[in-house]
């Protein structure tokens, strides 16, 4: 008698599969400071706290949008870190003109009308604040007016105080993975 396999066979269901796309933010002020000084000390400079995108960084986000449009890929949701540079990258890349054929939203109404992509700020997907000032985010109360498209309801504190420790990695990050 053959041994019974403990493996379970799963049928592939293309409608059940979600594609996850990770995108890094465009060039920000602190990146330029490091390049110009040749030193990582610029990351600790308070001038670069919650660094914004440079003009080149905004151009990179616009180019990413064009590249994604060429692929025909559509998205259901944008999860974004509450850091300024990531919010700018997400909005520049994914906010769409719904009257245009050129949008990245996979969401439609029952009538076939394209809906705006939802943007959801999530604290746990950002770089943890530690020794680098550029990784300390601005208070939500300061940035949410600049990004009305973004839902900040999952960001639990106004100030950016999230520190990555082994303990909160186990309790907060591992369950997401």
Q: Is 101 a catalytic residue?
A: no
Give the whole-angstrom CA distance, residue 61 versus residue 133. Answer: 23
Marked catalytic residue, from 25, 30, 123, 132: 25
Q: Is 30 a catalytic residue?
A: no
Specify burial of residue 170 (Cβ count, 10 A radius: 0-12, 13-18, 19+): exposed
Output phi, psi for 91, to 5 deg.
-65, -45
Marked catalytic residue, from 27, 66, 113, 127: 127
Give the whole-angstrom CA distance, residue 143 versus residue 159. Answer: 11
- In the chain, what is the straight-line distance between the N-terminal and C-terminal CA atoms, in Å? 40
Strand 150-151's sheet: what is its strand order? 78-80, 119-121, 150-151
Q: Within 13 Å, how many C-alpha atoms sit on residue 158's CB side? A: 2
User: Taking the CA atoms of the chain, what radius of gyration do you get in angstroms?
Assistant: 20
Q: Which residues are catalytic?
A: 25, 127
């Amino acid at each position: 008698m053959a041994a019974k396999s403990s493996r379970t066979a799963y049928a592939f269901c293309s409608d059940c599969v979600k594609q996850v796309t990770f995108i890094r933010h465009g060039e920000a002020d602190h990146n330029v400071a490091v390049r110009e000084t040749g030193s990582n000390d610029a990351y600790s400079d308070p001038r670069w706290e919650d660094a914004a995108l440079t003009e080149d960084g905004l151009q990179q986000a616009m180019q990413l949008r064009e590249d994604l449009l060429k692929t025909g890929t559509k998205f259901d949701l944008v999860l974004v870190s509450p850091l300024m540079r990531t919010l700018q990258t997400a909005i520049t890349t994914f906010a769409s003109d719904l009257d245009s054929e050129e949008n990245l939203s996979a969401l439609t109404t029952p009538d076939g009308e394209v809906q705006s992509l939802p943007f959801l700020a999530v604290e746990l997907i950002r770089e943890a604040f530690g020794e680098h000032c550029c990784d300390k985010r601005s208070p939500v109360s300061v940035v949410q007016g600049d990004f009305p498209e973004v839902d900040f309801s999952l960001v639990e504190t106004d100030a950016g105080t999230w520190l990555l420790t082994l303990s909160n990695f186990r309790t907060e990050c591992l369950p997401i993975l």
